[in-house]
Chains A and B, each alone.
Chain A
Amino acid sequence: MSPRLKSTLLWALLAVVFGLCTWHVARVSFRKGATVDHRRVVRVGHFMLHSGIRDALQAVIDEYERRHPEVHIVQVPVPDRAYPQFLRTQLVAGTAPDILQIGAHFTGMDELRARYFEPISAIVEEPNPYNAGTPLAGRRWRDTFLDGLENGEAYSAALRHYYGIPLAVGGVRILYNAPLLRRITDSTALPQTYAQLIELCRRIESFAQTQAQPVVPFAGSRLSALFLMSPLFSIVNQRLYYDLATDHTLRLTDWDYGLAYLQGRWNFDRPSIRLGYALARELARYQKPGFYQLNTSDATLQFLQGQSVMLVSHVLDVTNLKAQTDFEIAAAPIPALTRDDPVYGEGVLGPVTEIDTKAAANLGLVRGAPQREAAVDFLRFLGSKPGMEIFSARSNWLPSVEGVAVPAWMEPLRPQQAGYAGRFFAEIAGKGDARFVVGNQYHLLFGQGGGVDALLGVIRESYGPAMRTDLMKDVRESNHNLRRQEPALLGAYLATEAAPPAAGRAEAGGFWRDVSSQNGYEARMLRTQLILSQTNNSP
């Protein structure tokens, strides 16, 4: 075959294939008179694959599409393990959906937010038109969320911008098997006080023995145990907490515990500290031996199989649990200790406040989204009272927007407003390696033959040096951050010719606000450095 004929045949083949493809596309597009979908398509990428959540989001989408027939919203659900890679690759390639769920814990999220997400600060400063005709009408959109959008996903402190619209509010509750509880106690209500809770645990143990049923009070795992013990340990230490805030701010930062320890203002032999650990050991008795080595899914399985009456869990997991079982699951707050408790009451002020509970599951707007206007409008609907009513009713997630009614069984999930500090247990070891020095020794507290003295015998020796190491590292990192900030700050000064306004601080621009933040940050670092030097010989 001559090369010329070969070339002609190849071109002819190509033309036939092209023709076939064109015919196929035309046939699909115009079949029986139908036209192509001319609706604007907004895609929403997220990793909320829990049972019922996609349906709940779809219910909001259906209502939105009914109101806006020209728009079509498409969910792009992605498993949470694959989501960080999905996020980065789609954003870098410029093929990302218009709306994406934000995960503040993802590595490099601030960088991704800065480069690929559009700040919505100006949008959330305005009232949400979908709240018209509701009690939220006319209010700044940001203020209609229960947390004021002050959560790490919705707001980036580093970038000083809002980026996300949250769908739910988090928190921790005791979930319990209501029919099993009724069998044991003739009641479906959980106790109100700690003393009554311990009494209930004893009854459950007695029931298990007399009925020969393998039932324990709490489904145990490392995380659920800490969820239970942390607020109660903290309540026992509330008076100590406020005593340690010697700067008169009535609050402690993560590093203040370590600094106060090095200054000799508390130690592990303080009565309330010992009592707190004694309480944790008491609670450990009512979980299966070895619980501290188990993970959350082990505890969930115990609970779903009826091997425990109670499970301490994150409230966002309730929907998932309810979908997997046929028995009634009820929820209650962790019973509080009271000031008149004969054993633990001395350091107690009252229940732990959840007033600053953060909202979760935030959706953000992708910079340069092809359907930006429609995407913004859909976010407005989703984050409005009418939109959240649909979502919450279907998802069983606590609504993130104010004034949205929830069914009676969800009322106990709502954050407790009144109350006092409650993070002593979680914050005592700071934010560095000392957490592992302390956390890795709890088997000495919980194990058979162990106890408070066994635990304190070890951490009494290791806590001080570990905190010192962490604090020195913090000082080094802070100094490094100052070094990085300095040219940037001067660059901002030069760029804006930042002459401070004569009218005073209220009119001062971003430069002076940043300077003020830096001054506070630097003062804290210098104080830490001085305390470390002054306490060089402390344990």
Chain B
Amino acid sequence: MRQLVCFALALGLTGPALRAADAATARARLDAAVAVLQSPAVGEEDSRRIRADLAALAAESPVTESGIAARYLLGRLRQIEEGIGEPPEFTSLLSEHPQHPLAQLAAVKVILRRLYAEGPETPGARLQAAEQLGRVVTLAALRCDFHQAMGDAYIFHGDRREPALRHLRAAEALGIPSAAARANVLVQIGELARLTGDGAVAGWSYRKFLADFPRDLRQQIVRDRLADSGGSAP
């Protein structure tokens, strides 16, 4: 009994230290993989080795930060290099850690691929599937990207103005970080609102664009559109 107590005590003391050492090693392996992949001279052999190392890391410690990051990176490489829209690494990340930032980012990447995938799926089905998947995206930064992507996709797939306007307004409300993207979204909101008969929203968006982007090439055409919808420029 005394021996058992001593063993448990020793395990209790060394366990966290061992786990910390494991985490540090895993992080070092991940950092090394990321560094090698960033190198412009990385060859196919290196790439294969790194991917194997990432897979091993993901298998050994799938729930640690390093393991999750390794799974995300593997999934992205599969998307980009092999053209797989929803790689298995992303499916498992989304089901196991839906709140993790990298899982949410993975969801946005899957949505983008689904929206513009080649294949027999109808535009309506793609948009519906993307809406469904988008429910897991809750981080404000990514939610904004999701709304922009959906707004553009509703326009691309048959100019569906009302849902497009709804998404783009949601993106604008969340705060679009890129000035160029925000300028586009403000014009899109103005145009879509004008075309769907919402003069108040159109006027608001056009005026905001004119005030915030005084050197944009679209100043005159937006002034014209604002006048057409009964408003006056700021």
Give the interface of A toward B (CB within 8 A).
147-148, 150, 242, 246-251, 349-350, 353, 355-356, 417-421, 479, 482-484, 486-488, 490-491, 493-494, 498-500, 504-506, 508, 512-513, 515-517, 519-520, 522-523, 526-527, 529-530, 533
Question: Which size class do B's interface residues fall under?
Answer: 35 or more
Measured between alpha carbons, how far is A418 from B222 in the docked complex, in Å? 11
CB of B101 within 8 A of CB of A500, answer yes
Cβ of B34 under 8 Å from chain A: yes
Q: Is the CB of A248 within 8 A of B181?
A: no
Q: Tell me the complex Cα distance, A484–B142, Å.
A: 21
Residues of A within 8 A of B37 (CB): 486-487
Complex CA distance for A522 and B115, rounded to whole angstroms: 12
Instruction: Let me know if B94 is at the binding interface, CB within 8 A.
Output: no
B80 near A486: Cβ-Cβ < 8 Å: yes
| Chain B residues at the A interface, C-beta cutoff of 8 Å | 27, 30-31, 33-35, 37-38, 40, 69, 72-73, 76-77, 80-81, 101-102, 105, 108-109, 112-113, 115-118, 139-142, 144-145, 148-149, 152, 155-156, 159, 174-178, 181, 184, 187-188, 191-192, 195, 215-222, 225
Residue B140 contacts which of A420, A488, A500 (CB distance < 8 angstroms)? A500
Tell me the smallest distance from the CB of B157 to a CB of chain A, in Å: 10
- Once A494-B69, A500-B139 are accepted as A-B contacts, the answer to whether A527 and B215 lie under 8 Å apart by CB is no
Given the contacts A248-B191, A486-B80, A512-B177, A491 and B216 also touching, CB distance less than 8 Å: no
Check B177 against A516 for contact (C-beta < 8 Å). Answer: yes
Contact A520 B177 (CB under 8 A): no
What does DSSP make chain B's interface, helix, strand, loop or mixed? helix
Name the residue among B109, B149, B177, B192 with the largest chain A CB count within 10 angstroms: B177
- Does the CB pair A519–B34 fall under 8 Å? no
Other 18 A-B pairs with CB < 8 A, given A479-B80, A516-B144, A526-B112: A150-B215, A247-B152, A248-B155, A248-B195, A249-B188, A250-B191, A355-B215, A418-B220, A419-B220, A421-B221, A483-B80, A490-B69, A493-B69, A504-B140, A516-B181, A517-B178, A519-B108, A530-B116
| Contact for B72 among A490, A523, A527, CB less than 8 A | A490
Contact B34 A487 (CB under 8 A): yes
B221 near A516 with CB under 8 A, answer no
Give the shortest distance, in Å, between B129 (CB) and chain A (any CB). 15
Q: Given A248-B188, A250-B187, A486-B76, are A519 and B149 also a contact pair (CB < 8 Å)?
A: yes
**CB atoms of B159 and A246 under 8 A apart:** yes
